[in-house]
Structure 1
Amino acid sequence: MPVESVFDRESLIKKAAQDEKLELKKARAVIGLIEEGNTVPFIARYRKEMTGALDEVQIQSLINRWTYLQNLSGRKEEVIRLIEEQDKLTKELKAAILGAEKIQTVEDLYRPFKQKRRTKAAIAKEKGLMSFAEWLLAMPSSSVAAKAETYISDEKGIASAEEAIEGALHIIAEHAADEASIRQWIRDETLRNGKIHSAVKKEELDEKNIYEMYYSYEEPVARIVPHRVLALNRGEKEDILKVGIQTDTEKIVRYMSKKYKVNDNLQSGVYVQQALQDAFKRLIQPSVEREVRNELTEKAEDQAIHIFSENLRKLLLQPPLKGRVVLGVDPAYRTGCKLAIVDETGKMLYISVIYPHPPKSKRDEAEALVQQVMREYEVEIIAIGNGTASRETEQFIADIIKKNQQQTAYVIVNEAGASVYSASETAREEFPDLQVEERSAVSIARRLQDPLAELVKIDPKSVGVGQYQHDVSQKKLNESLSFVVETAVNQVGVNLNTASASLLQYVAGLNKTVANNIVKFREENGKFTNRSQVKKVPRLGLKTFEQCIGFLRIMDGKEPLDKTSIHPENYPEVKELLQSIGFTTSDTSTAKLTEALGKLAVEQAAEKTGLGILTMKDITDALQRPGRDPRDELPAPLLKTGVMRLEDVKPGMEMQGTVRNVVDFGAFVDIGVKEDGLVHISKMKKGFVKHPLDVTAVGDIVTVWIEGVDVKKGRVSLTMISPGE
């Protein structure tokens, strides 16, 4: 039987479209565009007619499925070839392999044909005991011992009837263990009815009793939630817990016996059942348990990565506070609070350090300096990092505002990763003359002005909005977080004349090298005045130009369309459209043009220019609001002028807070006291909540009510359900 390719591009696209619940023509268009070298942000933004306006997440999900199906097809082809080389490929086996939907199923089918090490069954076969095993499986009623004696042979190394029986049972056990349908049934049974259990192994290693609830723990495999899977894995890795899976052995062996038509009233049937018990316990159970735990871990990792990604996306897309002079404060005790003032563009104006807290406690001196620099630099808002000494520093700043009756407000800024940035090569290049701590104060101030531009300078894993992010596949985590950052950057767009290389590298089609080349070109030649100049940047070819240019904006260039999200490929049609209604490109964002475009029938305009309706709608939106930032439509950060102590918080109080982190079991909300309060998933809204991310996300400003306060432990429990509901 000749080896033939099982890779059929069209059938794989159909399968991917079906799995992702997409129309075939949309899926076909996306795969075609990807194969031509187009990027996900470019396809989502500028090829809507072809894809039916699929968003970045849908496109990436389709690509992931397509890639998996390609790998699956490749493995099927390889396995068919390997079995065929052994001259053991039947029509039925080939059909089963071709019909498999998972790589695991293909591996199960291939298992009997794999080159094995010298197993007990292999040794028994070498001794000529295969025919004895087949005799037993036929369920004869005659004496097994008498039959076994006929296999005794000094030449073959079979010294007794017992040895012959033992060898035959090893052959039967291996045969059962290699049976794909049996392994699949046992795997499914374990997932359906198995129980994951844990016991303490080395309690002395659990100094903080983190794993105490798992010292004697049991839960159905089908119901265990992702964060508990990862907690058990971590406890096992740290040698504190012993983890395993329990199954109903009797039920499984009964199933196997039925498959082999075992008659346990016969002596041969009793022996075969013994072989099947051995097959399960010795050969199947350990590997199926490993596979099931791997499957649980993979699902838990995917969930943890999804939560981290969603939290990161919300953090990156927090609304900027543009055009304000900001005082950034990086709080600390012993080393002092670092101060940095940046102007409206993020340029550093002033740097210093104060010691308002113990051990130095120079509060009066610190207060005088803060008041002086706030007046001198006309500080409009203060950004305080939320790390060590944050609440004491907040109280210090609130006291200054109250004492001087100033209009200045402050915001608590998530400083996670600021120290990582401060010690990075990027920070050293940007501020070579500053100490590490001083750089972090600048970063905190800039995070308030433009969170996206500042956060892209940091490894996304250091942003601190995840759950068990160090326990998951780092490759998958990095891929997912890079996708989130790339999507966020391209949704917002980038100012070509002010963006750092850190920001530019995430623009569609660009990489670190080309991003650095853009910055270098800008430094050597001055500001870009039109988008076409980008073609002169070294290593930036025509395909890259096509992919990136729509996301790069020039706010004060020669061509007014360059500050919009309109792609240069559509400039001729846009100019033709404007001319037909009596305007030019210099009229963008004027009230008259906005009014005229508001009356324009998009369908007619699309027909007139030959562009699609979806593209035309994007163009008319961009002409009315050039330089639009989607983040501006989100609620601004919560500005504060005063501080509360934990002791002041009482049950029943209504408060506003900022969501700092979302996890599987709820959300942590900063309500302005020392510790973030927890809203448990059951307290997020009336009725069933599948996941906290369905209700809220990082950066959201939410109304909460105090449920309980434990001053001693520093814990606050919150609810988002109004007491009247």
Structure 2
Amino acid sequence: MTVDVKVDQNDLLKQLTTELKLNFKQVKSVIDLLEEGNTVPFIARYRKEMTGSLDEVQIKSIMERWNYLQNLESRKEEILRLIDEQGKLTEELTQSIKQAAKLQFLEDLYRPYKQKRRTKATVAKEKGLEPFAQWMLTYEASSVEEQAKKYINEELGVESTEQAIEGAKDIIAEQLSDEPESRQWIRKETTTKGKIVTSVKKQELDEKGVFEMYYEYEEPVSKIVPHRVLAMNRGEKEDVLKVSVVPPVDTILAYLEKKTITKAGSPSEAYVKEAIEDGYKRLIQPSIEREIRSELTDVAENQAIHIFSENLQNLLLQPPLKGKMVLGVDPAYRTGCKLAVVNETGKMLYIDVIYPHPPKNKLEESKAKVKDVLNRFKIEIVAIGNGTASRETEQFIADIIQEGYKEISYIIVNEAGASVYSASEIAREEFPDLQVEERSAVSIARRLQDPLSELVKIDPKSVGVGQYQHDVSQKKLNESLGFVVETAVNRVGVNVNTASSSLLQYVSGLSKTVAQNIVKKREEVGKFHSRSELKNIPRLGAKTYEQCIGFLRIIDGEEPLDKTPIHPESYKEVNQLIKSLGITKGNLGSKEVMDRLSTIDVRQVAEDLGIGEVTLKDIMDALMKPGRDPRDELSKPLLKKGVLKLEDLAVGMELQGTVRNVVDFGAFVDIGVKQDGLVHISKLKKGFVKHPLDVVSVGQVVTVWVDSVDVQKGRVALTMLSPHKED
């Protein structure tokens, strides 16, 4: 039969609208804008009127779901064509395929028609036993053995009635295993009533007992949480564990028998039952187990990637400590602590090394050198990396501060990924004359000054805020983390005259090559004086210019609007607005500008200028706060002047700490001792907490109380539930 497989795109858009609970115009606008080559950050920031102010995450959700639906429709077309070519396409099957909402169900429908490799059933069919199998399923009253004799054929390899019966059972078993409705029911039944069971396979491979909890473990499939799925998968991959899904076998066999055996008591009933059991245990059960495990892994991976992405976003958007002279210290024992002084703009002024710890123990010499640096460069903050010898170095710096430098503070900086950066090509280009460890000290200082600018130089997977990141799809993880970095960079905006190519390549529309071309041009001719000069950058065409330019800032340029997030496409309207209010561009951000703008009738002015109200509000916000940095609204890093040891902690002690990592089961908080303390999900706040991310985020400064201390194991349990008052 000939079928029309083309689907109206509007029908897909309507489906998407319903699924995402948005209106049709929003969804269609996003798809149209994406297909025109616009980037997600550009659409989110400069096409709010068209999208109804959807943010980057919502736009990305539309894009991903649209791609899924497009792929689903393409697969439907292909399957309909393949079945039609076999001459087996019916009206009913066509409708089922067209209405399939998931790829999984679509593949179930196609399964009976899929070209298979040689199976027991295909061999039996080659021996001419298919009619015999179909006869068995009619449940006639005559003898099965007598009927089987008709199919004995030595030329085809059927030498006995037993062989004929076995072949017929193989055909029935495969036929049952391909039946879409049964597979759907069995998959659901196994998911809701089955258990995931683990046992130890090779305990000797688990020296530290990492997987001890799973040596003998079971849990309902429907209840298992994502991080346990990933832990089991890792244990299985490392050959420590055996993992299996145990289904409700008796219930499933009873269902298949009831569905398949239409006449009880017939001579073929016993043989069909055997075929059902064989078909389920040999064909259906292993296949369904793989599908369920794959689905559990997908959910777990998505959750792990989501947590990593949220943590990374919060880390990247940590408030910068602007305008501070910083001493960066990369701690170590044998190779010494590397020192780097970085000025207010991030320029390195000084590099050295000291040996305050064993084995060299040059304590007094090291103190003198640090004091000289503090005095000579008017240091305001010391940034200490949290790696090897961090706590000893913290004590060393704290002692110096107590000796007449009380106006100086210090902070422990998470140096995860600093060594990766230091050995990278980017670092070698930036500091060709420095040793790897010296580059680390510069990176640590700069992370404090501007976390975003420094962290974009590092592979996001190396920044230390993940959970099972090595156990998930690296392609999916890279895409998600890349999107997070891109979103963070574009929300903040980039100073085009100071940004590295590492930072510029995350700006909307800019490729790595164009980012490098911008830096090269800047180095050749000096700083840019206007956004329009960027039109002369090689390979930065009109479309790229449109996508990137609103996110690039020129702070002291010829055009004051160039330092704002206002897009040049709106400059004409902005100039009209400024003129009508009688204010000057040189006065942006002043009280006068704020007063004038706060009195206007937004609806009327938007109409007069021929722009949308949402766009006008964004323009007004930019004119009132031209240099606004969204990171400035977040809590500032926790600065310190004294040291705390694990032995100093007592149960009930109140402390302030910085959230370093958020995982499924709680949050790790740096309270200034060697190990981060864990606040279990049950101790984050009073009442039910669905996920720790709903309560805390990376970089947040929180008040905690010590719940328990294990000095031997170096573990601290914390609580955010105040012992003194109701939360």
**TM-score, reference length from structure 2:** 0.99
Q: Distance in 1 between matches of 2:6 and 2:713?
A: 62
Aligned to 1:272: 272
Q: CA deviation at 1:2?
A: 2.4
Partner of 1:16: 16
Matched with 1:232 is 232
SS in 1 for 2:29: helix
Counterpart of 2:557, as a letter, is G
What CA deviation, in whole Å up to 9, does each residue of 1:511-544 have, x standing for no partner?
1000000001111121111111110000000000
- Indicate the SS of the match to 2:465: coil
Aligned counterpart, 1:156: 156
* Cross-structure match for 1:486: 486
- Contact 1:17-1:62 at 8 Å conserved across structures: no
Q: In structure 2, what is the Cα distance between the partners aligned to 1:319 and 1:267?
A: 79
Q: Which residue of 1 aligns with 2:291?
A: 291
1:421–1:457 CA contact under 8 A, matched in 2: yes
| Distance in 2 of aligned mates of 1:71 and 1:132 | 40
Q: Tell me the equivalent position of 1:351.
A: 351
Cα shift readout 1:164-194 (whole Å, capped 9, x = no counterpart): 1111111100100111111111111111111
Helix, strand or coil for the counterpart of 1:479? Answer: helix
Distance 2:153 2:230 in 1: 54
- Cα distance in structure 2, aligned partners of 1:453 and 1:152: 79
Map residues 594-609 of structure 1 onto 2, 5 A cutoff: 594-609=594-609
* Partner in structure 2 of residue 685 of structure 1: 685
**Distance across 2 between alignment mates of 1:198 and 1:432:** 52
- Which residue in 1 is equivalent to 2:559? 559
Please name the residue that 1:715 is paired with: 715
Q: Partners in 2 of 1:590 and 1:290 — Cα distance?
A: 64
SS at match of 2:154: coil
1:133 alignment counterpart: 133
Per mean C-alpha deviation after superposition, the further-off stretch among 668-677 and 97-106 is: 97-106
* Residues 651-666 of structure 1 mapped to structure 2, 5 A cutoff: 651-666=651-666
Which amino acid counterpart does residue 531 of structure 2 have in structure 1? R
Q: Which residue of 1 aligns with 2:538?
A: 538
Task: List gaps (5 residues or longer) in structure 2.
Answer: none
Kept in 1: contact 2:327–2:340 (CA 8 A): yes
2-side partners of 1:603 and 1:230: how far apart? 53
Shift of 1:3: 4.5
Tell me by how many angstroms 1:408 deviates: 0.2
Q: Deviations over 1:586-612 (max 9, x none)?
A: 221122111111122222221111110
Give the structure 2 partner of residue 423 of structure 1.
Answer: 423
Which deviations, in whole Å up to 9, do the C-alpha atoms of 1:656-676 show, x marking residues without a partner?
100000000000000011110
Partner of 2:58 in structure 1?
Answer: 58
1:43 is aligned to 43
Aligned to 1:241: 241
Whole-angstrom distance in 2 between the partners of 1:720 and 1:604: 50
- The question of whether the paired residues in 2 share the 8 Å contact of 1:7 and 1:70 is answered with no
Deviations 1:278-307 (A, max 9, x none): 000111111111111000001000000000
Separation in structure 1 between the aligned mates of residue 7 and residue 379 of structure 2, nearest angstrom: 64
Aligned to 2:221: 221
Equivalent-residue separation in structure 1 for 2:332 and 2:460 (angstroms): 24
- Tell me what 1:207 maps to: 207
Q: CA deviation at 1:267?
A: 2.6
Equivalent residue for 1:366?
366
Say whether 1:336 aligns with 2:332: no
Q: Deviations over 1:404-456 (max 9, x none)?
A: 24210011111000000000000000000000000000000000000000000
1:323-472 equivalent positions in 2, closer than 5 A: 323-472=323-472
Write out per-residue CA displacement over residues 32-56 of structure 1, whole angstroms, 9 at most, x where no aligned residue.
0000000000000000000000000
Work out the CA distance in 1 between the residues paired with 2:175 and 2:615: 61
Distance (whole Å) between structure 2 residues aligned to residue 386 and residue 23 of structure 1? 49
Q: Distance in 1 between matches of 2:230 and 2:542?
A: 46
1:155 aligns to what SS in structure 2? helix
The answer to which of 69-78 and 582-591 deviates more is 582-591
Give the Cα–Cα distance (whole angstroms) in 1 for the partners of residues 5 and 159 of structure 2: 50
Select between 593-602 and 283-292 the one with higher mean Cα deviation. Answer: 593-602
CA distance, structure 1, for counterparts of residue 584 and residue 140 of structure 2: 95
Code of the aligned partner of 2:655: M
- For 1:222 and 1:722, how far apart are their aligned partners in 2? 34
Question: In the alignment, is the contact (CA less than 8 A) between 1:262 and 1:273 conserved in 2?
Answer: no
- Asked whether the 8 Å contact 2:261–2:272 carries over to 1, the reply is no
Structure 1: which amino acid aligns with 2:259?
Answer: K
SS at match of 2:324: coil
Residue pair 1:229, 1:300 contacting (<8 A) in 2 also: yes
Q: Please say if 1:638 is aligned against 2:662.
A: no
Q: Counterpart in 2 of 1:119?
A: 119
Gaps of 5+ in 1: none
CA RMSD, aligned part only?
A: 1.0
1:262 positional shift: 4.2
What displacement does 1:126 show?
1.9
Partners in 1 of 2:468 and 2:267 — Cα distance? Answer: 54
Deviations 1:633-665 (A, max 9, x none): 111100100011111111111111000000000
The answer to whether residue 523 in structure 2 is matched with residue 523 in structure 1 is yes
Equivalent AA in structure 1 for residue 657 of structure 2: G
Q: Does the aligned pair in 1 maintain the 2:173–2:278 contact within 8 Å?
A: yes
Aligned to 2:585: 585
Q: Which amino acid aligns with 2:312?
A: L
